[in-house]
Structure 1
């Protein structure tokens, strides 16, 4: 088990931190399938509650093949974060190479109905045993 942790970012008082992990038991390198779990912690450092409405991901493997994903909420939820509160979830992705990266953004809504985008900076997906 290997893990990678990104540097936390803070935009619009929302801090996003990512940890990734290669999932060997779900991967099949002979068939170009490398599975990664990513755990994201979102913390509201602001002074008002916000709700996560949607997400967008741009996933790129080592062959520069890009897959885009967007949709409502995360893991079937649209969490409301009060000031000082955090929300952590784990999801996953599969790519065709032992190294790649992801980046994207979340759309949040404030109590007054205004929305803002919180970017998720690029983070690495890597299975170091396969990299020469």
Structure 2
């Protein structure tokens, strides 16, 4: 599995924690797209490259982080084909994957502790899309993207 990860300054420390957790404890290949410090940056500059890596299939999933997760969610979902889900706890991540086939997990660096974030990441990465009745909804989302 290969994951792209990106954050703004507000979630830099959590990004580093999650990146190291995935690489060291889980043995997952992680591509770090920045930010590279807690010095102020603009989250859209990191959301777009992450989204493009996901939609081009260079990576299996993306993990995007900012202070609240809201800005990164808005920005990453502007990339056609991204289904980014802001998940503040594992149950949200489970249903984001099961029902929405989310391909980008968005986390809130200022609102979550690292243990909760790790559990949320694990749930997201270990949950499969249910398909079935949910598949037609994902297809409808794709049609909306093509029309706009």
TM-score under structure 2 length normalisation:
0.22
Q: Which one scores higher on RCO, CA 8 angstroms, separation ≥ 6? A: 1
Structure in which a larger fraction of residues adopt helix: 2
**Quick check: which has more Rg, 1 or 2?**
1
Structure in which a larger fraction of residues adopt strand: 1
